[in-house]
Amino acid sequence: MSITELFSRGGIAMWPLLFLSVLALGSIVDRVWFWSRILTREREVAGRVLEAARREWAAAAEIAKRSSALPMGRFLQAPLSLEKPEPEVFRLALETAANEELAVMRRGEKVLEAVIAISPLLGLLGTVVGLINSLGSIQLSDLGGDATAGTALGIGEALISTAVGLVIAIVSLAFYRLFQGFVFGQAKVFRQSGSELELLYRQAWASKSVPEVSPVAAKERDS
């Protein structure tokens, strides 16, 4: 049975299921592309910035600025671009940047959540409608005859929409959990890197070794 024939036999519910599958596929492709670009580089950026911060804050700010195309670079650049902030302001800048970047990482989750919830229900609705149409044509006098055999075939076809809805929901759920795991892992990296950078800054603040103006803030002020 071809895909076109399967689609036509699935009933009217196949059209909204097709729409949901396109939505889910678009969201999955977008997130796969997003994560493939950042997963292998985030820890490297964090390590370089933290290593530079132990020696010179200006160098750390410059490395973070050059890595601003990545979430980790933007996260660490947010406090380092400030003009000699107090430690509490430094921490708030880290928290705000982390929340913004994690929100970007969660983009597409609502679409997948909707597909996971709606597609099985649409499939079930298509099956119910198919069963109503198949069973509604049965007469008591037709039991055991050719009409009953045709009805059984109609019931089998009605179940196609449920199967398609479940397949869409299962695939969407698998990728949804995968992306959630990536977000959880990145949140952990953000938390570790942010805490270490904040600790280094507090130590520098206590020893009065924080530069008056970071190179990023200096350029913005001069411009």
- For 166, the domain range is 9-222
Query: Cα separation of 223 and 220, whole Å?
Result: 5
pTM for the structure as a whole: 0.81
Local confidence pLDDT in tens for the 223 residues of the chain: 667 777 777 778 889 999 999 999 999 999 999 999 888 888 899 999 999 999 888 899 999 999 999 999 999 999 999 988 899 999 999 999 999 999 999 999 999 999 999 999 999 988 888 777 766 665 545 555 555 555 555 666 678 889 999 999 999 999 999 999 999 999 999 999 999 999 999 998 888 766 654 544 445 444 4
Q: Is residue 181 part of a domain?
A: yes
Q: Is residue 4 part of a domain?
A: no
Q: Could you tell me if 151 and 131 are in contact, meaning their C-beta atoms sit under 8 angstroms apart?
A: no
**pLDDT of amino acid 221:** 47
Q: Is residue 138 left, alpha or beta, with left meaning phi > 0 and alpha meaning psi from -120 to 50?
A: beta
Q: Is residue 2 part of a domain?
A: no
Q: Is residue 202 part of a domain?
A: yes
Q: Is residue 38 part of a domain?
A: yes
In which residue are the tokens 């089998």 written? 156
**pLDDT of amino acid 20:** 95
- Cα torsion for 121, 125, 126, 127, to the nearest 10°? 100
User: What are 99's two structure tokens?
Assistant: 């929340």
Q: Residues with Cβ < 8 Å from 170, sequence gap 6 or more?
A: none
Q: Is residue 28 part of a domain?
A: yes
Q: Residues with Cβ < 8 Å from 176, sequence gap 6 or more?
A: 109, 112, 113, 116
Q: Is residue 175 part of a domain?
A: yes
The secondary structure of residue 82, as a DSSP letter, is S
User: What are 137's two structure tokens?
Assistant: 């044509």
Counted domains in the chain: 1
Query: Cα separation of 63 and 73, whole Å?
Result: 8
Smallest CA-to-CA distance from 109 within 190, 173, 18, 195 is with: 173
Q: Is residue 1 part of a domain?
A: no
